[in-house]
Amino acid sequence: MNEDDFRKWSRTAADWGADYRETLGERPVRSRSAPGEVTAQIAKTPPEAPEQMEAIFADFERCIMPGMTHWQHPRFFAYFPANAAQVSVIAEYLVTAMGAQCMLWQTSPAATELETVVLDWLRQALSLPEGFSGVIQDSASSATLAAVLTMRERALDWEGNKKGLAGHPAVRVYTSNEVHSSVDRAIWISGIGEENLVRIPVSGAQRAMDTTALEAAIRRDKNAGLNPAGIIACVGGTSVGSTDDVAAVCAVARKYGLYVHVDAAWAGSAMICPEYRHFWQGVEDADSIVFNPHKWLGASFDCSAHFLQDPDSLVKTLAIQPEYLKTHGKDHVINYSEWSIPLGRRFRALKLWFLIRAHGLEGLRTMIRNHVLWSEHLAQKIAETPDFELVTAPMLSLFSFRYVPTGTRDLDELNQRLVNAINDDGRIYLTQTRVDGQLAIRFQAGQFETTEQDVLSAYDVIRDCAATL
């Protein structure tokens, strides 16, 4: 590809992207491809000779697009959103065109310094104290792993990386059953082991960790000669939005000298709105906090904001400095690769800078407030509809419900059939979960360009599909 071709196909791709976003509402939200259908259309062996871009682009539309689920669709109500506001897409094009590997300050000073400034913008937007420092991780999973590794090293007096875990009392980490499965993975990868992840029961409408049970578990482990290391609290859990009492969790942690990591991957974005900050009251006492601007704030994936009270502990846990990674002759620079699991780093701060400047914090707050309000209205309509019930009330823009017609013997099977019917219909996309062992249907509004009509249209789809069962 020469420079003229690059210019031509860059414009073609940009025009395609604009057309795609403009026509998204006309497409089924979830892919209708059958397993193996995409594979069957792709050549089994790589080409020996170059192929024309016209043919490659045509095959992209013919083979690939039918197999895509449309996460930017305004009626994508499944999982949590993975937004890509249009201005973020433009910033990502610039990042991709430059192709910089921003692992050290010297490998692109602007990437490091913009990350420092933009993360402080986010800190201010969340009203976190000035003592917090921020770094962009690829995902909340990586931030949680980094936090668990730091818990482990602190509990082992910084000997774990050198000597391993053998010969030490078992390191213990505490959390509820409502946290994301990334916590389990962090425990596996860190070498702590699944048996040392202590699950604390939840209680109350917010399905919060029982801090009395938490303290009892810590005492029991200490008395048994084990090594309590940290607590992972949850704000807006993936299943139904379970939210721990962060202040109470931090109070227990301080009493026993434990590290606290707060996973607010989805709900953290809403904390730019002052009226929602009661959901994580006491967060200023946490050691580590993560939320994903690539979920509800509009930044394209991947972009996870990780805030730390004491970044030195994280750096002490993760940093390795061979000679070829040292920055000589420059004092007081930050190398964010020492704050992350991977050495390689993309220029993620640019899309945040574009996004916040183009929409302003008030524009982003308005979007989030609308999603919450519209979801509350939909939840109320469903609750008032015969043969339906709310299972969990709205936590911000997330709630769950069930179809419960009289005389049905297997409500789990019926509700799974309803989810399947809704998603096969194509107008909206929902997912299921389990609440206290029973299957429930999740609804969450969060796509960047969703309208009130998009949200309320879900009611008609749900009713229409239920009537066919």
Based on the fold, state whether residues 216 and 328 are members of the same structural domain: yes
Backbone phi and psi for residue 235, each to the nearest 5 degrees, phi listed first: -125, 105
pLDDT band at 165 (very low <50, low <70, confident <90, very high): confident
Lowest mean pLDDT among 161-175, 252-266, 276-290: 161-175
Residue 322 pLDDT exceeds 80: no
Q: Is residue 88 part of a domain?
A: no
Mean pLDDT, residues 100-116 taken together = 85
pLDDT band at 102 (very low <50, low <70, confident <90, very high): confident
Which CATH number belongs to the domain containing residue 448 in this structure? 3.90.1150.170
Residue ending a domain, among 42, 75, 108, is 75
Cross-strand bridge partners of residue 232 = 261
For position 469, what pLDDT does the model report? Answer: 87
More confident residue, 407 or 120: 120
Based on the fold, state whether residues 132 and 9 are members of the same structural domain: no
> What's the mean pLDDT when you consider all of the chain?
91
Based on the fold, state whether residues 371 and 333 are members of the same structural domain: no
Which CATH number belongs to the domain containing residue 49 in this structure? 1.20.1340.10
Based on the fold, state whether residues 174 and 321 are members of the same structural domain: yes
Mean pLDDT, residues 229-251 taken together = 94
For position 120, what pLDDT does the model report? Answer: 96
For position 109, what pLDDT does the model report? Answer: 86
Based on the fold, state whether residues 28 and 161 are members of the same structural domain: no
Residue 330 pLDDT exceeds 70: no
Mean pLDDT, residues 444-461 taken together = 95
Mean pLDDT, residues 219-229 taken together = 95
Residue ending a domain, among 322, 346, 370, is 346
- Kindly report, residue by residue over 260-283, the tens digit of the pLDDT: 999 999 999 999 999 999 999 999
Structural domain harbouring 9: 3-75
For position 326, what pLDDT does the model report? Answer: 53
For position 180, what pLDDT does the model report? Answer: 80
Cross-strand bridge partners of residue 403 = 388
Q: Is residue 357 part of a domain?
A: no
Residue 329 pLDDT exceeds 60: no
For position 203, what pLDDT does the model report? Answer: 87
Return the C-alpha torsion angle 274, 278, 279, 281, nearest 10. Answer: 110
Q: Is residue 335 part of a domain?
A: yes
Q: Is residue 423 part of a domain?
A: yes
Q: Is residue 105 part of a domain?
A: yes
Domains of the chain: total: 3
Q: Is residue 356 part of a domain?
A: no
Based on the fold, state whether residues 170 and 293 are members of the same structural domain: yes
Q: Is residue 87 part of a domain?
A: no
CA angle, 371 then 374 then 378, to 5° = 130
pLDDT band at 324 (very low <50, low <70, confident <90, very high): very low
Mean pLDDT, residues 68-97 taken together = 92
For position 328, what pLDDT does the model report? Answer: 40
Mean pLDDT, residues 3-19 taken together = 93
Based on the fold, state whether residues 310 and 186 are members of the same structural domain: yes
Q: Is residue 215 part of a domain?
A: yes
Based on the fold, state whether residues 30 and 107 are members of the same structural domain: no
**CB neighbours of residue 259 within 10 Å:** 25
Residue ending a domain, among 290, 317, 346, is 346
Based on the fold, state whether residues 158 and 298 are members of the same structural domain: yes
Based on the fold, state whether residues 321 and 373 are members of the same structural domain: no
Residue 428 pLDDT exceeds 60: yes
Based on the fold, state whether residues 156 and 304 are members of the same structural domain: yes
For position 321, what pLDDT does the model report? Answer: 64
Which CATH number belongs to the domain containing residue 143 in this structure? 3.40.640.10
For position 323, what pLDDT does the model report? Answer: 44
Mean pLDDT, residues 9-38 taken together = 92
Based on the fold, state whether residues 310 and 450 are members of the same structural domain: no
